[in-house]
């Protein structure tokens, strides 16, 4: 396997490899010692053993969608898994085996077209399954179907000793536990995810949307909060604010995506929402029970999360007993002009269920995230300042943060204290020399934060 070494490589070739497939253009000034592009597990083992010989670390890039660009680290060999592709489907067993660089869209394109199945992967089509699943995976209809990592039945990894290891609930169960929520703290390189699949609801895929002006924020959001506990359990609920074409001010967008077996079931679920007396009627535009598809939703998500932009992100799970409408008002309505957006996702009833035994542990009924984005580096200071200011006002109402929408620049609660302590024990066991470039919160800060 060829390794592109920083000290001897052509500068342009090295820089292209350093930032290959990196989504967030706000890339860090960090420079790996070498960059490898493995095509199989043996290449990964060889690279790790070379890193041990060279006394340097290992960093991994699956899809490149990490907002803090975690794959780019100093004094490391970067394993860019973009050329390592495994996608095998067992239709009868409703299962799939995939490598980390396979994206949600790549997987679902094959599943839907050839097998009539789907996987609740990331909403953005080009998110690699590696980072997505390790962080937990807030996938399609998460409030009802659960987190995507709950559908991971087993994994294969290469350890920081260069050994291939199979992990599930019976074998190497601690690594399997960590692989569902540890994110960039995971102490090994995943080479395979074994996934449980579900039928694709082609005939009953419908959506409704209600777009309100800024001055109807409180009424619209209050209505959504009121009805969420009684909405059909195959329906995803999201509230988004953004600047829409033709509108001078922020718009409040309420989306319901229903995934039922039949059109009649979908219409019944969305009709219940549409006919609620508490629903504000003065929309800028609306649609009801429109035929939809995962392909169409992927296209919309790609436009809302464009490539070639500089992203500043953060997130919070809001306390169940908070005045959510008031707590999030400034964040929702104070967006910088342009392509930035903020969103709330309903997490009830999943947030009320007993959690599986896994690293993912932060949750509430209310998930909130902000994305400040621009193509212009001159907007960075303003956007970063705005994100920090907004999240500071939310801090006292938050129970924790989701790794997938965090930039990891400040100490947050990504796990509860018991899960964090166990995760550190697992990391100390499997990677005692910290060969893997992994997120390592300070123990004293974790204790005081929980």
Whether residue 309 lies inside any domain: the answer is yes
Q: Identify the domain boundary among 15, 50, 80.
A: 80
Cα dist from 77 to 41, 187, 321, whole Å = 16, 15, 46
Residue 50 is part of a domain; what is its CATH number?
Answer: 3.30.43.10
| Per-residue pLDDT tens digits for 212-252 | 999 999 999 999 999 999 999 999 999 999 999 888 899 99
Does the pLDDT value for residue 312 go beyond 90? yes
The stretch 284-311 carries a mean pLDDT of: 96
Residue 196 host element (H or E): strand 189-196
Terminal alpha carbon distance of the chain: 45
Does the pLDDT value for residue 444 go beyond 60? no
Does the pLDDT value for residue 386 go beyond 50? yes
The structural domain count of the chain equals 3
Residue 381 host element (H or E): helix 380-394
Does the pLDDT value for residue 445 go beyond 70? no
Nearest-5° Cα angle at 237, 231 to 242: 150
Whether residue 162 lies inside any domain: the answer is yes
Q: Identify the domain boundary among 199, 218, 250.
A: 199
Same structural domain, 182 and 222: no
Nearest-5° Cα angle at 74, 72 to 76: 85
pLDDT of residue 411: 61
Same structural domain, 10 and 44: yes
Whether residue 419 lies inside any domain: the answer is no
In 3D, which of 344, 347, 339 has the Cα closest to residue 372?
Answer: 339
pLDDT of residue 450: 41
The stretch 107-126 carries a mean pLDDT of: 97
The stretch 29-58 carries a mean pLDDT of: 97
Same structural domain, 296 and 254: yes
Q: Identify the domain boundary among 199, 232, 267.
A: 199
Same structural domain, 13 and 76: yes
Does the pLDDT value for residue 442 go beyond 70? no
Same structural domain, 232 and 192: no
Percent with pLDDT over 70 in the chain: 97
Same structural domain, 390 and 270: yes
pTM for this model (two decimals): 0.94
Model confidence at 1, pLDDT cuts 50, 70, 90, reads: confident
Same structural domain, 238 and 286: yes
In sequence order, what are the residues at sequence separation of 6 or more whose Cβ sits closer than 8 angstroms to the Cβ of residue 158? 41, 44, 45, 48, 164, 165, 188, 189, 191
Q: Residue 307: how many CB atoms within 10 A of its CB?
A: 11
β-sheet bridge partners, residue 211? 253, 285
Residue 170 is part of a domain; what is its CATH number?
Answer: 3.30.465.10
Same structural domain, 195 and 241: no
Same structural domain, 52 and 167: no
pLDDT of residue 441: 64
Give yes or no for a contact between 133 and 98, defined as CB atoms under 8 angstroms apart: no
Q: Please, what is the average pLDDT of the chain?
A: 95
Does the pLDDT value for residue 265 go beyond 90? yes
Model confidence at 446, pLDDT cuts 50, 70, 90, reads: low
In this structure, the dihedral spanned by the alpha carbons of residues 395, 230, 135 and 333, taken in order and rounded to 10 degrees, is -40
Model confidence at 410, pLDDT cuts 50, 70, 90, reads: low
Whether residue 292 lies inside any domain: the answer is yes
Whether residue 444 lies inside any domain: the answer is no
- Which structural domain, as residue segments, surrounds residue 43? 3-80
φ, ψ of residue 442 to 5 degrees: the values are -70, 135
In the sheet that 57-61 helps form, which strands lie side by side, from edge to edge?
A: 3-5, 34-36, 76-80, 57-61
Q: Alpha-carbon distance 177 to 154, whole Å?
A: 10
In sequence order, what are the residues at sequence separation of 6 or more whose Cβ sits closer than 8 angstroms to the Cβ of residue 431? 159, 160, 187, 188, 438
């Amino acid at each position: 396997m060829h390794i592109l070494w920083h000290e001897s490589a052509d500068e342009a070739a090295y820089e292209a490899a350093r930032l290959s497939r990196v989504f967030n253009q706000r890339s860090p000034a960090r420079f790996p010692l070498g960059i490898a592009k493995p095509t199989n597990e043996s290449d990964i083992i060889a690279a790790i053993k070379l890193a041990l010989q060279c006394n340097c670390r290992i960093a991994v890039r699956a899809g490149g969608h990490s907002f803090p660009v975690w794959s780019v680290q100093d004094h490391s060999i970067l394993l860019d898994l973009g050329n390592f592709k495994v996608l095998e489907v067992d239709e009868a067993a409703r299962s799939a085996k995939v490598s980390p660089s396979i994206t949600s869209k790549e997987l679902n394109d094959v599943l839907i077209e050839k097998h009539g199945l789907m996987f609740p992967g990331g909403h953005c089509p080009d998110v690699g399954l590696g980072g997505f699943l390790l962080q937990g995976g807030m996938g399609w209809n998460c409030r009802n179907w659960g987190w995507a990592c709950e559908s991971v039945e087993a994994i294969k990894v290469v350890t920081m000793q260069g050994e291939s290891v199979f992990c599930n609930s019976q074998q190497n169960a601690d690594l399997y536990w960590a692989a569902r929520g540890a994110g960039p703290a995971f102490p090994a390189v995943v080479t395979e995810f074994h996934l449980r699949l579900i039928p694709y609801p082609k005939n009953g895929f419908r959506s409704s949307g209600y777009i309100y002006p800024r001055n109807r924020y409180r009424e619209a959001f209050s209505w959504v909060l009121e009805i969420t506990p009684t909405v059909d359990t195959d329906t995803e609920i999201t509230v988004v604010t953004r600047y829409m074409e033709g509108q001078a001010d922020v718009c409040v967008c309420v989306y319901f995506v229903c995934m039922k077996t039949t059109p009649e079931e979908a219409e019944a679920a969305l009709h219940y929402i549409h006919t609620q007396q508490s629903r504000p009627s003065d929309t800028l535009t609306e649609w009801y029970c429109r035929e939809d598809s995962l392909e169409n939703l992927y296209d919309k998500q790609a436009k809302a999360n464009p490539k070639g932009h500089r992203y500043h992100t953060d997130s919070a799970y809001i306390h169940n007993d908070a005045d959510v409408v008031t707590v999030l008002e400034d964040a929702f309505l104070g967006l910088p002009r342009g392509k930035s957006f903020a969103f709330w996702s309903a997490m009830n009833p999943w947030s009320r269920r007993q959690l599986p035994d896994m690293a993912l542990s932060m949750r509430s009924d209310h998930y909130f995230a902000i994305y400040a984005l621009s193509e212009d580096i001159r907007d960075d200071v303003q956007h970063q300042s705005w994100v920090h200011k907004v999240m500071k006002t939310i801090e006292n109402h938050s129970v924790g943060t989701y790794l997938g929408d965090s930039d990891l620049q400040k100490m947050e609660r990504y796990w509860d204290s018991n899960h964090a302590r166990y995760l550190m024990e697992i990391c100390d066991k499997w990677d005692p020399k910290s060969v893997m470039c992994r997120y390592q919160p300070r123990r004293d800060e974790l204790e005081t934060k929980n």
